[in-house]
Amino acid sequence: MLIYKIFRRPEWNELVASGQTLGAPVDLADGYIHFSTSQQVMETAAKHFAGESDLVLVACQSDVLGSVLKWEPSRGGALFPHLYRPLRHSDIAWDTSLPLGVTGHIFPEGLV
| pLDDT tens per residue, range 80-103 | 999 999 999 999 999 999 999 999
Digit-coded pLDDT (tens) for 14-40: 999 999 999 999 999 999 999 999 999
Asked whether residue 110 is domain-assigned, the answer is no
Asked whether residue 111 is domain-assigned, the answer is no
Residues 59 and 92 sit within 8 Å (Cβ to Cβ): yes
At 112 the pLDDT is: 60
pLDDT interval class at 74 (50, 70, 90): confident
Domain total for the chain? 1
Distance between start and end Cα atoms, the chain: 13
Model pTM above 0.75: yes
Closest by CA position to 41, among listed 23, 21, 22, 55: 55
Q: Report the CATH number that the domain containing residue 46 is assigned in CATH.
A: 3.20.170.20
Asked whether residue 80 is domain-assigned, the answer is yes
